[in-house]
Structure formats: C-alpha cells, structure tokens
Structure 1
Amino acid sequence: MAKLALAESAVSGPVLLDAMTALSDRAHDVITRLRATVFAPGEEKIIDLRFTITKAAEMVGRTSEAIRQAEADGRLPAPRLSASKRREGYSLAEINQMRDVFGTRPRRGPEDPPIVLAVQNFKGGVGKSTLTCHVAQYLALKGYRVAVIDCDSQASTTTIFGFNPDIDIDDEQTLLPFFRHGGEPDLKYGLRATAWPGIDLIPANLGLYQAEYEAAARLRGNPDALDRLRRGVESMADEYDVVLLDPPPALGMLSLAVLRAANALLIPTPPSTVDFASTAHFLRMIVETLEVMQNHLGARGYHFLRVVATKVDEGKSAHTQIRDMMEAVFGADMLSASLLDSAEIDNANVQLRTVYELSGPATKTYERCRNNLDRLNGEIELLIRKAWPSHRPDLRRLGLG
C-alpha cells in the first residue's frame, strides 16, 4: 500500500504519510546495513590504526631505541608480536602511554584555559561537521584530550564518530535534558567515550531540535539563560585540553548559546560568491548579536577567530580566484591552508569515516589529502597553543611565538 501511494503521488496526488514512512524506513535500513558492514563486529566502530616503531618514535618525540629500551626495562609493556615475531605496530592508546612515560604528551598547563572551539556558520553545506571531526581526530593523534559536543540535531558528527542517532542515542543522552527546566545541572552526564582514544562525545539526534524550544522558554525574562551552555561547558572542560562545538547551521537559540560558550571560533566558507556573501552576512549578524548579548550578559571575547576556506578545488580557476579574494579581504584572520575538495574525503564519508581513519595502502591522492589536512590542522593547533601562556616560551624558542 505504501509503495502504491508513493507511485501514485508522483503522477497525480500528494505524497501520503505512509509513503513518507516507507521512504524513512528504507533509508534507515540502508544506514543499518552500512553500519553492520563498516563497524563490524557488533556494529560498533573500531579504530584499529597501527603505527610502526619509526612512526611511533616520531609521534612520541623520542628515538626508536629509547622506546625499545623502555620496553626492555619494563617502563613500557612488551610490544605485540605476530606469529613470525615481528612487531605488529602500536595503537594510538599505546602511543599515548609512551608519551606519558616520556613526558612528551602535549597538554595545557594548570593555569592555561581549555580552548572551547566552535566551528560555526549559519549556512548549511559548508563543511562544518567535516572540519569538526578532522580537527578533533588530528588533535587526538597528537595526544591532546578532546571533547566534542554535537549541538546539531542532524547529528552528522555523531554519525561519523560511530553512533546511529536513531538507534544508539536517546534524547536523554543529548544536550536536551540540560536545556530542560529542572534538567541536568551540568554536562558530565552526556559525555561518552568514542572509538578514538582521547576523544569523548556528547552526541545528538533528531530530538535535540526540541532544545531550541526549551532554551527559548528559559530565555523569557531571563537573558542569563543564554550563558547556560557556557557554564555547562565550564563544568566539564577542565578534564580536556580542547572542547569542540558543532552547532546547527541556523541562527537559533543553540547557535546563540554556542557563540557565548566558545572562546575560539572557526568560520568555514566554500569558495563561491554565494557562500562568501553568506559569510559576510554571518559576520555582520555575529557582531550585532554579540553586541546585544554583551549589553545583557557582559563581554565575551575569543582567543582567536579565523575564516577557513573549505571544499576548495584548486583545479577550478573560479575557486582559486574567490579564495584569493577571501585572503585579500580577511588577511591574517584567514587560515593559510584551505580544506581542499578531495575524493578521499568523499570516499571516507561513504564508509562513515574520516580520512584519518582510513587504512590500507596509501595512494598519491590519499597522501595529498592527508598532507593538506595536517597543514590545516597544524595551523589550528598552533593557534590553540598560542592561547596557552605555558606554551609560549617553547613556541618562541621554535620561532613560532
């Protein structure tokens, strides 16, 4: 009956609810099968990246011989060996254990502020979630402690981190209970470990959209309600070096709350006239909105604010021309590296993964994409470290301060 209603609607009538239900069910079945294929066993995402001892030494900041010596004297566990007695490589968790033993794991100092970084643009389709996930995983590979808060009911970031928003995530596990009147007092209830060592997530699902209404209800006669998310982030941020916020692509209550909660901001912008114009409007709206909120709630500054060119195809002259124009307009307020449009990002998305999660033989296309991501995220890491007073002497010695 549902198929018949859908077929008839294409010719002569409105789409009926049962036809829409059938569409929803079929789409859900595809995602379920995809998860079963990609995240097996148990339909859970597994990150099985392994690093050679040479790569491990590079990541840890010590020599291969220093690692072998620490294993020999018991400071590190013995390496995992194959049947032929060859090292099988080290997991990221084992790399972090090495960093802890050698004292090379990068951390903010006790007096350094946690960086609360929002990846925000009120326009959809600009690469916001792609950027959020790759930044988070790059920082985790470097050894930082990262929390990701998915504030978008579309839940793209939640999906990439291995959770099916429709099945794995209850409304009570999202930000929704935090915004309800009489709800959770802080955000610690929502944090859950991901398959990535060093990354925790507060997930989202479609029900999170109700938080827009809950937040609006709290705001009536109480402007301080816009700072509720900021206080919630502060309640858990001490456990992390960086907290990443992925807000919805709209000017709503959650987006306003994210603007108040963040102390650093990335604005992803594809190289098109429409997207540039949208970003110009977005910046004007930010200024006007922050001025209003400042009058009611006090000043709220950012350690850094950068525009990021995203989805850039360097083979298209129009893209490079508009990116050049953006660089001329934004100057030092724009990252030097761009997030390039790459088949590798698309291939990873098909598998509900990121480029940092891909394994297997590295192609030239993969290497170019990975190098681009590392350059881009390296700039962001440097901005984060510059915001930490305890890191500034080392940065100055390296000529980066």
Structure 2
Amino acid sequence: MRSDREEIPEGFTKEDADKAEIAEAEMLKRRTMQRTSAQAAATDCMTYWPEWRYQVCGAIRVKYDSLGGPNNFLLWPTSNEIRNPDNVGVRQTFTNGPIYWHPSAGAHPVVNHFFAAWQRNGWEGGKLGYPTSDEIVNPDNIGRRQTFQGGTIYWRVNEAYYVTGAIRDKWNQLGPLPAERSFLGYPISDEVVLPGGQGRMNRFENGVIYWSPTTGAHPVSGPILDQWSRAGYEGSSFGYPIADEVAVQGASSRQQFQNKWIHTPVAHVALGSTGKSLSFGVPFGSQLAASSTSDTVLLQGPGFDLRFKRYTGGAVNMGLTLNSAQAPSEFRMLLGLPPGFSWMNTPTGIIFTAPDGSKLASLSNLLAFDSQGNAVAVNLRLSP
C-alpha cells in the first residue's frame, strides 16, 4: 500500500490512507470508463489521498486540481459539496478555506483576510455576492485584491476591506491606475452607511470618499479633511462635498460642500519637532480668490482681504483689511489640530500645546483695519 512507502500527513492514520487509496483507485477506474467528453471529465468526482471521507466534484474539483490539489494552500477537503442557501451556488470546505461556485461567477477559493472581510459582510448573501476571481497580486507586489459580483476586497499588510459602487468608480477615476496608486492609497474600512441611511463612505490610507444620491462621490483629504472632520463631517453646517478639491493660484486649495466652501491657505504652523502641523481652513459660502508668496497667503473675499504671514519658529500672523460695508463682522477659522494637541486663548494670541502641556506654536490675534488703515474690531471664532 502507498501508506507503507510514503509518510502519512499529520492528522491522518494508516487506516485513513489505505481507505483513501482504495477509494481513489475505484474513482480513477470509473473516470476512465466514463470519460467520453470534456463535460464528463469536468463533472466526475475524486478522492484525494489520504482523505477518504470526502470527494471533490465538478467545477470545484477542476478549480482544486488547477491549484495543485492537496498540495496547494487549501490542503485537503473537510466536507463534501454543500448547497448554499440561495439554492443556486455551492461550496466545499477545505483545511484552510472554502471554494465557492456559482454558474455565472465560476469557482474560486476565498481564504484568510479576504474570507474574514467577506464573512463580516454576509458571505454570498451580502452586498458582495459570489467571488468572480481568485486572489490577485497588485502591481506594487505588496497588496492583493479579489473581485466579487458586487465589489472588490483589497488587502494590504494587516486587514482587508471592500470598495463598491459609485465610491469604487470614483476611486478608479483619481489616477494613476490601479486605484490603490492614487493619492488616497488602499481602503482602510468597508463601505459605511451614514446616519440617515442615504449616504455612504469609505476610509482610505490618506483620506475618505463620501457619496450621497444627490451629491455624488467625492474624495476629501489633507487639511480640508482635517477641518471638515472637526466641524462634524456631513452632519455639520457644511454638509456633503459636491465637488473634488481644486488647487488655486498660490498653491492654496478649496473644496465646495453643499452649504459652504472650505479654503485652505498654505500657511501651516509646524508643531515643534513632532512632525505634525496645524492647518487653516476658512469656510465661506462663496468662492475666495487666493494667492501667495514664499511666506504669505492672501485670501480675497467680498469686501475683505485676509492675510496669513508665516514666521520662522512656528508662528503665523493673521491680518485683515475691510474694504467695504459688505465685509462680515465675524470670521470663523477651522483649525486642523492633531489628536491630543490643544489650544488656549491668551492676551496676545493663541497658544498651541502638545499632549504633555509643552508650548509648540502660537497664532497672534487677528489684526483688522479698514480701507483707510484705521483699526476695527472683528470677532474671531476658532473651531478646533
């Protein structure tokens, strides 16, 4: 017997191996007699030594054989073929994962992190449906992906998450292809249903994509995401993004939301030696013109000019000139302050502190003048 010549794999006995050899021989004989067409060859069953209790049949067997049979990562079968709850597809379990088959999707294994992501989203009965590919190594030779009827699961290093629908389409449009090479990077969350049940979002390594049926899908990242998140995301007075971020003159940027724009000057305040920085956002209901020099950013709005001047050592001075009666009497700044950092008002300005309480940077109080150069009172409100 084969068990007398070869080492029996761990978990099997000599009795198992001998029974499997007999069953394997019987099935090989039956296959030889019945193999009159390619169709017959694709539908008969096989036993794989030293497992004798379970047979692998049909399209699942063809896939299993193409992977190397028991010599592949799945190892041996641990069940016979099982009909899925939809009464259309079938599956079969193996030591390290299952193979699923559906008439319009084919037969594909789903294992490890991909299986975990698929499982938490309802297996084939959930949004993703059946697998339509095996695992695919991404061009970066680090990440992997697997496609399903309703979306794609991506894995990189630690965990796997799915992207689907309009959010996946938008991610693919950001370029360069493939999508994980875009500025957003890999997904780090599954698609999330937002409060109210209408909107959806996915988190990525470097930002988010938000979608709603009335606004479409748009990415939000960097300082604008910092400010929008601190305002309360789509539940804030800004609402959902209705356009992508746009670069404007002077290396500033802006993004339009349902109710306001967020304008981000490039005057960031370095927070000591932490490698983190404070970013500024100016929310207005209309567009602002932007320009900058090496140390100053100028935002021009209806009846006012707002300047940010950057100094060595992590300080920024804000200066305001009111040009007409149209200028607002109150200005609100959105601050992109990293978690754990804090700010406080002092008689001379605003001090930013590290989690340990040490001073890291400062922002002087708003200096406001009218068009004739006279100092005027303006209320500055900060939203961290």
TM range (shorter): under 0.3
TM-score by length of 2: 0.22
- Using CA pairs below 8 Å that are at least 6 residues apart, which structure has the higher relative contact order? 1
**TM-score relative to the length of structure 1:** 0.21
